[in-house]
């Protein structure tokens, strides 16, 4: 797949994000509850895909949820319990950077849970998600994919970049030789949890720019066409000259010197 030039990407993304803002106004005005789950390969680009949505919306209505590993107490709770408090309220969009599907993916492949835990998860998840959608939550589930060659390239880039090294965890590196195991786990997960009320969508993220546009276009197309035109307040001219900033005893910091 040929990479999308940055200029074309930014032009298409701008159009989609304008449409996204219209959707967000509809969500707020009608009290919709939208939940988007992002799962996928390590390095596929979940964070960047999430930012294409969250960066252009108000943080008061669009929330990103990226939970750490469960505490000792949470491990003894009903498996879905720790996620329930983060579900959207009226007028909100919630984006899960990984979710309860950790059980079907990393927990299973890395041996952090038993096969019985996985079987119970597959048995209970369709009913749990049916309850969410029956109550009015609009649920979207995306799985981001990339080839192992591309994954290895991105791992190396993260390792070499001090600003990206935080993205690498020991588990990420341990999982490098488990690419095929993750494929099998993903296929089992989709077979068990791809339902009419909560279907999965797989998005090719070998080229992340194209992947983001594909995902965002699909998301916008699957929400009812409820356009809400922007209605910004009118901005009247100032009366008199614009004032300059004034300070008392506390002065601003010295400007950064190049």
pLDDT greater than 90 at residue 3: no
86-93 average pLDDT score: 98
CB 201 within 8 A of CB 141: yes
At 111, which helix (H) or strand (E)? none
Nearest to 231, CA basis, from 39, 32, 22, 42: 22
- Edge-first strand order for the sheet with 33-40 is 62-65, 92-97, 33-40, 137-145, 200-204
**CA distance readout (Å), 236 to 47, 144, 231, 241:** 40, 47, 15, 14
- Arithmetic mean of pLDDT, 164-193: 94
Q: What is the pTM of this model?
A: 0.92
Identify the sign of the CA torsion 173, 188, 142, 6.
positive
pLDDT of residue 258 exceeding 90: no
What integer is the mean pLDDT of 3-16? 94
What average pLDDT does this structure show over 131-140? 98
Q: What is the residue-averaged pLDDT of the chain?
A: 94
What is the 3-state secondary structure of 46-70? HHHHHHHHHCCCCCCCEEEECCCCC
| Token representation of residue 183 | 């494929």
Reduced to 3 states (helix: H, G, I; strand: E, B; else coil), residue 143 is strand
What pLDDT score does 226 carry? 66
Nearest-angstrom CA–CA distance, 26 and 23: 5
Query: Given the structure tokens 């095929």, which residue do they identify?
Result: 180
- Cβ atoms of 50 and 97 within 8 Å: the answer is yes
Average pLDDT value for residue range 68-76: 94
Taken in order 167, 170, 171, 175, is the CA torsion positive or negative?
Answer: positive
pLDDT tens column, 40-52: 999 999 999 999 9
Question: How far apart are alpha carbons 140 and 39 in whole angstroms?
Answer: 11
Domains of the chain: 38-221 (3.40.50.300)
Question: What are the CA-CA distances from residue 147 to residues 21, 40, 141, 153 (Å)?
Answer: 33, 12, 20, 10
């Amino acid at each position: 797949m040929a990479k999308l030039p940055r200029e074309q990407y930014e032009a298409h993304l701008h159009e989609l994000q304008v449409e996204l803002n219209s959707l967000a106004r509809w969500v707020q005005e009608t009290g919709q509850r939208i939940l988007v789950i992002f799962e996928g390969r390590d390095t596929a680009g979940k964070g960047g895909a999430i930012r294409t949505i969250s960066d252009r919306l108000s943080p008061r209505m669009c929330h990103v949820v990226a939970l750490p590993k469960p505490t000792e107490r949470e491990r003894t709770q009903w498996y879905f319990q720790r996620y329930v408090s983060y579900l959207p309220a009226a007028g909100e969009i919630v984006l899960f950077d990984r979710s309860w599907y950790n059980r079907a993916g990393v927990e299973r492949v890395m041996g952090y849970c038993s096969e019985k835990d996985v079987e119970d998860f597959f048995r209970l998840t369709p009913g749990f998600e049916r309850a969410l959608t029956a109550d009015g939550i609009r649920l979207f589930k995306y799985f981001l994919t990339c080839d192992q060659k591309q994954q290895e390239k991105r791992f190396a880039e993260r390792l070499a970049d001090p600003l990206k090294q935080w993205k690498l965890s020991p588990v990420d590196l341990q999982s490098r030789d488990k690419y095929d195991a993750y494929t099998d786990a993903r296929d089992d997960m989709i077979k068990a949890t791809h339902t009419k009320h909560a279907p999965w969508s797989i998005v090719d993220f070998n080229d992340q720019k194209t992947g983001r546009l594909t995902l965002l276009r699909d998301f916008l197309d699957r929400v009812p066409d409820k356009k809400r035109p922007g209605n910004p307040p009118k901005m009247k001219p100032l009366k008199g000259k614009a004032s300059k900033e004034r300070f008392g005893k506390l002065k601003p910091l010295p400007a950064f010197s190049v």
